[in-house]
Chains A and B, each alone.
Chain A
Amino acid sequence: MRLTHLKSRVFGSGGMIFAAVAPVLTILVAFPLLFVVLQAIFPDIARGIFANPFSRFVETLFDKHLIAWTLNTLMLGGSVVLVSSLVAVPLGILRGLFRVPFAGLWDVVFLVPFTIPPYIAALGWIMALQPRGYLEQITGLNFGGFLFSFWGVVFVMTLNVFPVVYFAVSRMVSSIGGRYLEAARVAGCPPMRSFWRITLPLTTPAIAASLLLVFAMSIEEFGTPAALAARSGFLVLVTGIEQRLSDYPIDLPGASLLSVILVLIAMAAFVLQHRIVSRRDFQTVSGKPGANRAAELGVWRIPVVMFFAIIGFLGAVMPILSVVLTASTRTISGGLTADNFSTENFAEIFANSGGAMEALGTSLSLGLGAAVITGILGTMTAYVVVRQRTVSSRILDFLTLMPNTIPGVVVAVGLILAWNQPWLPVTPYNTIGVLVLAYCCLLLPYPVRYANAALRQVSVSLEDAARVAGAGGIKVFFRILMPLIFPSILAAMLLVFAVAARELVATILLAPIGTKTVALFIWRQFEQGSVGMGMAMSVMAIAITMTIPVAVAIWARKQGRLF
């Protein structure tokens, strides 16, 4: 009797949060995406005309490349998911279960790939590995053949996105706690078996959720496949979208329609993920004291550190090294010769420190703003989705994945179409507010997926107990749930911060007149042919962006927990 009463109160509070979250998500995500769909159907929607619906479908959908591009997109997404899981799941589990030497350092290092804009990373890899690239200039070897191939794209993209999986898995594993493994050990279960039978299955929500993010990111990414594999004829759906938006005549309806196909592919992945995580119950955090002791690695110390070091070197050090070399040479054609090294590019950035500092300030504030807003909103959404298993909460759940599957440039078009309507009484368009909207819309998926996976572990009985003790809904949320899921949410917020501080694709289309961000500053340098100066600015932006995660890591260490 009392239990049902409690249940209804729990769902009641979920309902309250639903009522608060749904309108915000409608404005933030559904409103612009609705316009993407409308644009796909009505070619003249930009002029407010609903004429000739579906008139562009035949031309776009019967494009003879469409099937090949779709298959390539699936193959790329699938391969990046596969390789990311092979790399990041072991890393995450090791980090969560064991006392890995330099653990805090690895967390910071694995965040670095997220602060490097993908187009800079791709260019960095090209300049390092192509024939007569930096590696050949130093060692005489080049890996151009590998880099400019399908697996080269998978390699570079995996290194850009694997941290999403690493952070989700490591936070989840460490919060499962040692209690279950202890019980297994007492029952005579050998460690390997208890790993396969207990740890790995209980980590499934985190693995599935983060791989879904990886899949969504890789089917939407344009820069890397275009820079590396377009030359060998490997084209994906986003290539088609970009072609429709790259020169006159542009084709907004066609680009929107291809984006809808990307959303449909993502929807299939979403359903698959949902099947996996809702098959069983993952509630492991139930309030019983669990000795959360990280195990010792013993003889495996050195190999494990090597594994972390190699991935850290490839993911963070190599691209940055290439970027630094480009920034500190006078000309690209001059190569790595003594008289070509110069601090000119950095000096010019300092000389233009007004513009550069303004851009850095704007980008860092936008990153912080987006991280805070998506962190709060994402947690609330995930709470509704996990606790209130209704159709409407499922829709909400998918809604918060969609922006991640649509190329940023198309989301930006949707935002313009939506927010530049003449009938709107007020609009954030052409103010910095539209960038906040864009980043929140594009990056909300991270906190939602992370919080979702973390919440699945927290037993409802904890909340019930708090309520019996007389705590109200808000108090339960902040005093019981938040402390338990905060490490996951904080990690997601750091990812959001890193991406928002360097976002280019949507920014370039949406930036209010006169606004400077880091990514725009770098892009303009490239546009003027100053690759070296663009790279110098990238180095500084990455260094400054990283101070915040480093500060958080140090703070978390003092608190004695994972960030």
Chain B
Amino acid sequence: MKSLKTVLLAGFACLALSGNAMAQSVTVYTAGPGGLIEKLAAGFKDETGIDVNVFQATTGKVMARLEAESANPVADVVISASWKTATSFAKKDMLLDYTSANAKTVPDFLKGPGYVAQGISALAIAWNPKSGTPKPADWSDLTKAEYKDLITMPDPAQSGSAYELVAALTAQPDLGWKLFEGLAANKMIVPGANAQALNPVLQGAKAVVFGAVDYIGLSQAAKGESIEVIFPKSGTVIAPRPMMILKTSSHQDEAKKFIDYVLSDAGQAMVAKTQLMPARSDVKADRPLIADLKILEVDPKTDRKAVLDRFAKTFGME
């Protein structure tokens, strides 16, 4: 049986060696949207000849892997779906200070020392026109009796952007928690992360998602699903997706070139094609852009845990 162990160890040794033999390459850890990173990687390889090794998962899983690997980091570039990742990594001095020449037309609030947005999503109302309910125009419409039992929302404890929406809306002086109490009275359900909130609306079990991620809804609509994305007139929150190079990267030049590529005309066109808003203000897209939306700010001093607790209590999720 000793021989079994020897064989296993020898096998691992071979695998480990073959895994390290990567020449010109950059390792990117990225949250969705799926498909985008593959196109970016292929385009980048064509232009520069550099291979892109991709690890793709949800933001939480990307962060968990980064954190668990921190004794011996593997990633060069990180793309997250949560802006907070970038600001807090910057604070911990984990990021390489790099400003891409292509970032000139990226608005100032979408970049910082060591990070820059790849693209931006916003939260919206996703409504199924076949549901037999009137088309909502604003968040508060959903507290009306017509929508009783027909609303879903992504869980703010599992989705960073949903949390920001709750934090921003409850901070509105005229709204406060009244809006969410009204939604609770309307029996809104909170079935899980973003995909779980959308599915019942597609099939018609529910009529409307409160706080759907816009690009997912827009791409579903493009595929022929009966879904309409509505940007509420009182405003919404946006979720810029930061890209950053880790200081520990041993392929910093390749990493910089990758950031340049994502911010190039070709890269930003790919971002726009996934129905995300491009980070560069001079790149056109076939959807409402930041300038078209009323954007609500989240006070960075908001107590996240208090907001989540109050939300859970309001919806009986304790």
Which A residues are within 8 Å of any B CB, using their own CB?
17, 20-21, 23-24, 46-48, 65, 68, 123, 126-127, 130-133, 144, 226-227, 230-231, 233, 235, 242-243, 245-250, 252, 330-335, 376, 380, 409, 413, 416-417, 420-422, 426-433, 508-509, 511-514, 524-531
In the complex, 9 of the A-B residue pairs with CB atoms within 8 angstroms, ordered by the A residue number, are A331-B225, A333-B202, A333-B203, A376-B4, A417-B71, A422-B71, A426-B12, A426-B17, A527-B195
Could you tell me if A233 and B316 are in contact, using CB atoms closer than 8 angstroms?
yes
**Chain B: interface residue total (CB-CB under 8 A):** 75
Give Cα A220–Cα B88 distance, bound, in whole angstroms: 31
- Whether A528 and B34, one on each chain, are in contact in the complex, defined by CB atoms closer than 8 angstroms, is yes
- Residues in B whose Cβ lies below 8 Å from that of A330: 224
Q: Which B42-60 residues have C-beta < 8 A from chain A?
A: 53-60
User: B11-28 toward A: CB 8 Å interface, digit per residue (1/0)?
Assistant: 111011111000000010
Q: Which of B107-115, B215-223, B264-272, B279-287 contacts A (4 or more CB under 8 A)?
A: B215-223
> Are A230 and B155 in contact, with the CB atoms below 8 A?
yes
Contacts of B5 in A (CB 8 A): 23-24
How far apart are the CA atoms of A287 and B267 in the complex, in Å? 73
Selected contact of A428 from candidates B12, B85, B195, CB within 8 Å:
B12
Contacts of A123 in B (CB 8 A): 199
List residues of chain A with CB within 8 A of the CB of B224: 330-331, 334
> Is the CB–CB distance between A247 and B203 below 8 Å?
no
Whether A421 contacts B158 by the Cβ 8 Å rule is no
- Minimum distance in angstroms from A510 CB to a CB of chain B: 8
Cβ–Cβ contact B160 & A247, under 8 A: yes
Q: Which residues of B have CB within 8 Å of A144?
A: 205
Q: How far is the CA of A131 from the CA of B82 in the complex (A)?
A: 33
What's the least CB distance linking A279 to chain B, in Å?
Answer: 32
Task: Beyond the given A24-B1, A127-B203, A243-B158, please list 11 additional residue pairs across the A-B interface where CB-CB is below 8 A.
Answer: A123-B199, A127-B199, A133-B203, A230-B317, A231-B189, A231-B190, A233-B315, A246-B158, A331-B226, A417-B71, A433-B16
List the A residue with the shortest CB-CB distance to B87: A248
Q: Which of B61-69, B229-237, B252-260, B292-300 contacts A (4 or more CB under 8 A)?
A: B61-69
Contact A524 B56 (CB under 8 A): yes
Contacts of A524 in B (CB 8 A): 34-35, 56
- Bound-state CA distance A332–B157 (Å) is 27
B33 CB, min distance to chain A CBs, angstroms: 6
Q: Chain A residues with Cβ under 8 A from B54's Cβ?
A: 513-514
Structural contact, A126 and B19, CB atoms closer than 8 A? no
Task: Given the known inter-chain contacts A333-B202, A333-B225, A428-B15, please indicate yes or no for A227 contacting B69, CB distance below 8 A.
Answer: no
Q: Which residue of A lies closest to B315 (CB)?
A: A233
CB distance A426 to B13 under 8 Å? yes
Q: Which residue of B lies closest to A252 (CB)?
A: B67
A-B contact count (CB 8 A): 193
Are A47 and B158 in touch, CB under 8 angstroms?
A: no
- B182 close to A (CB within 8 Å): no
A529 close to B220 (CB less than 8 A): yes
Inter-chain contacts of A333 with B (CB < 8 A): 128, 130, 202-204, 225-227
Q: Does B136 contact A (CB under 8 A)?
A: no
Contact of A132 among B64, B160, B190, B204 (CB under 8 A): B204
Question: Which chain B residues border A331 with CB–CB below 8 Å?
Answer: 202, 223-226
Complex Cα gap A227–B11 (Å) = 40
Task: Determine which residue in A235, A420, A432 has the highest number of CB atoms from chain B within 10 A of its CB, and name it.
Answer: A420
* Contact indicator per residue, chain B 80-120, by CB within 8 Å of chain A (1) or not (0): 10101100100000000000000000000000000000000
Assess whether A247 is in contact with B64, with CB atoms less than 8 Å apart.
Answer: no
CB distance from B77 to the nearest CB of A (A): 13
Contacts of B191 in A (CB 8 A): 227, 230-231
Minimal beta-carbon separation of B17 from chain A (angstroms): 8
Closest to B227 in A: A333
Closest CB in chain B relative to A227 CB, distance in Å? 6
> Using Cβ atoms and an 8 Å threshold, which residues of chain A touch B290?
none
Are A226 and B318 neighbours in the complex by a CB distance under 8 Å?
A: no
Report B-chain residues with C-beta under 8 Å of the C-beta of A249. 63, 84, 88
Q: Does the CB pair B27–A513 fall under 8 Å? A: yes
Out of A131, A380, A529, name the residue touching B223 (CB < 8 Å).
A529
Q: Which of A246, A428, A529 has the most CB of B within 10 A?
A: A529
Q: Is B70 located at the chain interface by the 8 A CB criterion?
A: yes
- Min Cβ gap A376→B in Å is 8
**Does B226 lie within 8 Å of A334, measured CB to CB?**
yes
**Could you tell me if A247 and B2 are in contact, using CB atoms closer than 8 angstroms?**
no
Per the 8 Å Cβ criterion, residues 186-207 of B in contact with A are 189-193, 195-196, 199-200, 202-205
Closest to B22 in A: A513
Give the CA-CA distance A64 to B225 in the complex, in Å.
42
Tell me, rounded to whole Å, the shortest Cβ–Cβ distance linking B313 to chain A.
10
Which residues of B are found within 8 Å of A127, using beta-carbon distances? 199, 203
- Complex CA–CA separation, A23 to B2 (angstroms): 10
Is the C-beta of B172 less than 8 angstroms from some C-beta in chain A?
A: no
B171 at interface, CB cutoff 8 A: no
Instruction: Give residues of chain B (125-179) contacting chain A, Cβ–Cβ below 8 Å.
Output: 128, 130, 155, 157-160, 163
Taken together as a complex, chains A and B put the C-alpha atoms of A518 and B306 apart, in Å, by: 40
Is B32 located at the chain interface by the 8 A CB criterion?
yes
Assembled-state Cα–Cα distance A14/B61 (Å):
42
Task: Please tell me if B289 contacts chain A, counting CB pairs below 8 Å.
Answer: no
B124 to chain A, nearest CB (A): 15
Given A133-B203, A252-B68, A333-B128: A431 touches B63 (CB 8 Å cut-off): no
Q: Which of A130, A247, A413, A428 contacts B159 (CB 8 A)?
A: A247
Contacting B61 at CB < 8 Å: which of A334, A509, A531? A509
Residues of B within 8 A of A422 (CB): 71-72
Contacts of B63 in A (CB 8 A): 248-250
Distance in angstroms between the alpha carbons of A249 and B220 in the assembled complex:
29
Given that A248-B60, A333-B225, A513-B55 are contacting pairs, would A527 and B69 also be in contact in the complex, using a CB cutoff of 8 Å? Answer: no
B307: Cβ under 8 A from any A Cβ: no
A431–B80 contact, CB under 8 A?
A: no
Q: How far apart sit A331 and B129, CA to CA, in the bound complex (Å)?
A: 14
Pick from B2, B33, B226, B227: contact of A527, CB below 8 A. B33
Smallest CB gap from B215: residue in A: A529
B45 to A: closest C-beta gap in Å:
13
B185 proximal to A (CB < 8 A)? no
> Is there contact, CB below 8 Å, between A527 and B74?
no
B13 contact set on A, CB distance < 8 A: 426
Q: Given contacts A331-B225, A332-B225, A430-B19, are A247 and B72 in contact (CB under 8 A)?
A: no
With beta carbons under 8 angstroms apart, the residue of B33, B65, B205 that contacts A130 is B205
CB contact between A242 and one of B65, B158, B200 (< 8 Å): that residue: B158
Residue of B nearest to A431 (CB): B15
In the complex, how many angstroms separate the beta carbon of B194 from the nearest chain A beta carbon? 10
Chain B residues with CB below 8 A from A227, complex form:
191-192, 196
Max chain B Cβ within 10 angstroms of own Cβ: one of A131, A248, A330, A528 = A248
Give the docked Cα–Cα distance between A350 and B176 (Å): 52
- Beta-carbon contact of A421 and B72 below 8 Å: yes
A526 touches B205 (CB 8 A): no
Q: Is B157 in contact with A243, judged by CB distance below 8 angstroms?
A: yes
Contacts of A420 in B (CB 8 A): 68-69, 71-72, 74
Residues of B within 8 A of A416 (CB): 65, 68-69
Chain B's nearest CB lies how many Å from the CB of A242? 7
Complexed CA–CA distance, A512 and B190 (Å): 33
Q: Which residues of A are found within 8 Å of B128, using beta-carbon distances?
A: 333
A158 to chain B, nearest CB (A): 21
Task: State how many angstroms separate the Cβ of B302 from the closest Cβ of chain A.
Answer: 14
Measured CA separation A428–B157 after assembly (Å):
34
Alpha-carbon distance between A348 and B181 when the two chains are bound, in angstroms? 45
- The 7 lowest CB-CB distance pairs between A and B, nearest first, are A20-B1, A431-B15, A333-B226, A132-B204, A416-B68, A246-B60, A513-B53
Q: Are B55 and A247 interface neighbours, CB within 8 A?
A: no
A421 to B69, CA, bound (A): 8
Q: How far, in whole Å, are A417 and B70 apart by their CA atoms in the complex?
A: 9
